[in-house]
Amino acid sequence: MGARSRLLAKLKAGEDIPGTGITLRRAPEQLELERRRPLSYYRRVLYFCGKCGQCRYVYQDAYWSRVCPSGELRKFEAYYLGGKNLLLWGLLSGKLEWTSKAAEILYHCTLCGNCVQQCQLPEIHNYALEWLHAARVEVVNRGLGPMPEHRRFGEWVRREHNPYMEPHSARLSWLGEKPKGKGEVTYFVGCTSSYRELEVAKAVVSLLKSSGVKFTLLEDEWCCGSPLYWTGQVDVVEELARHNARELEKTEAAVAVTSCAGCYRMLKQIYPEVYGVELSMEVLHISELLLKLVREGALQPERELSWAVTYHDPCHLGRHTGVYEAPRQLIGSIRGLELREMLRNRRNAWCCGAGAGVKSAFKQLASYAASERIREAEETGAQVLLTACPFCEMNLREAAEKAGSKIRVLDITQALSYSIKASRSEASQH
């Protein structure tokens, strides 16, 4: 046997090389894991984490930009993914105790997935979001969670079907006349556009009307379940999913469209994958539908807006469901808009800080993350920061106002609506 063959044989066997202190080992094959399993299922993989800290930075960019709002705010290892992995391994191995502090650390995270995007260990890259969510379910099962603010909105969703402490009867109060009859498209409005960011809902309805597409709304829309699901309050989510699916099917539309990235992920991914609730219609984000309508000529954004804009990728829409280009192409279809990308964009986008129960329970974290994003948007020289989710828009706008920033925060539906309305009013002047 030649030297090379001997070395390969040792490599296979994982032998020591005498006198060198080196043990040759082959890297294990990548483990195929199942999704949506209880936390204990992932125990053996948690210790794969090498605590190398790569998940703190965008390793693909020259500046090694930071990615984790939770860790960057607290500046303590436990709040980064590496620390959370070690914490969970300790908890599952019985080396650490389940305490309210452990629960607080696990909830102090937007589940944005930017850390997971950066980690190149396949099992962590592919599955860490599974255990970060499963950890919250475990915390709830152990009576250490959710956080009091989460429990409060959870009770309100059970009672009035929205997390904003608003009456269910006021859900459509922003809408003038409800579209009559059935439509090709059903607009699932979502709680944030129904109760807080009414301008987004109004822009969507105005655009659908302008396009001539026949559309309708649900007779009885309930919260999609996103805030409960991501805070580990999963017991009621299946009921919400089945209710909304029944209501959607009643409309007999070919397309269900959402303007909220969180609702989109629930209808498109969580309802079928977790609860087996398959819709017979196609689920689209509003950016995808509007882009199609613009390309078909049903919508004509003719008026030049002359704005330099930048675009914030909502985590639910980008990293979690892969819709990166439709919003950018829609922006590109509006004459006069110049898109200036932020350094951290698409898969590496810094989170707005609102999601997964953070805005209600950890206001400092939500505000810190959004103000960082506003600063990054300002660095592009853009006058307008566009996004494609009313929840991101709300958090970013509040941060811009708090910082006294001149940048204007808008949803892409609003920008398109201005362009269409402007062209219509211009036309009527001629």
Joined tokens for residue 179: 């579209």
Q: Is 395 one of the binding residues for ligand SF4 (CB under 6 A)? A: no
Shortest spacing between CB 358 and ligand SF4, in angstroms: 8
Shortest spacing between CB 121 and ligand SF4, in angstroms: 5
H or E segment and range at residue 9: helix 3-13
Shortest spacing between CB 345 and ligand SF4, in angstroms: 16
Joined tokens for residue 361: 């329970």
Burial 149-160 (b: 16+ CB within 10 A, else e): bbeebbebbeeb
Q: Which of 9, 31, 52, 254 binds ligand SF4 (CB under 6 A)?
A: 52
Compare residues 85 and 287 and give the one whose CB is closer to ligand SF4: 85
Build a one-symbol-per-residue string for 72-91: x at contacts with ligand SF4 by CB under 6 A, - elsewhere. Answer: --------xxx--x------
Strand intervals (E) in 11-88 = 16-17, 22-23
Shortest spacing between CB 349 and ligand SF4, in angstroms: 11
Q: Is 334 one of the binding residues for ligand SF4 (CB under 6 A)? A: no
Alpha-carbon dihedral sign for residues 192, 193, 199, 203: positive
CB of 222 closer than 8 Å to CB of 244: yes
Q: Which of 45, 91, 106, 124 binds ligand SF4 (CB under 6 A)?
A: 124
Q: Which of 68, 140, 284, 392 binds ligand SF4 (CB under 6 A)?
A: 68
Q: Which of 103, 115, 286, 415 binds ligand SF4 (CB under 6 A)?
A: 115
3-state secondary structure of 18: coil
Other beta carbons within 10 angstroms of residue 83's beta carbon come to 21
Shortest spacing between CB 70 and ligand SF4, in angstroms: 4
Strand intervals (E) in 230-302 = 255-258, 282-285
Q: Is 110 one of the binding residues for ligand SF4 (CB under 6 A)? A: yes
Compare residues 10 and 125 and give the one whose CB is closer to ligand SF4: 125
Stretch that binds ligand SF4, among 62-70, 266-274, 374-382, 385-393 (CB under 6 A): 62-70
Q: Is 135 one of the binding residues for ligand SF4 (CB under 6 A)? A: no
16-17 and 22-23 strand pairing:
antiparallel
Q: Which of 39, 45, 58, 67 binds ligand SF4 (CB under 6 A)?
A: 67
Compare residues 84 and 171 and give the one whose CB is closer to ligand SF4: 84
Task: Report the distance separating Cα 279 and Cα 360, nearest Å.
Answer: 31
Q: Is 109 one of the binding residues for ligand SF4 (CB under 6 A)? A: yes
DSSP per residue, 340-356: ---SS-GGGPPP-S-TT
**Sheet strand arrangement including 337-339:** 337-339, 307-312, 384-387, 408-411
Residues that bind ligand SF4 (CB under 6 A): 49-55, 67-71, 80-82, 85, 109-115, 119, 121, 124, 351
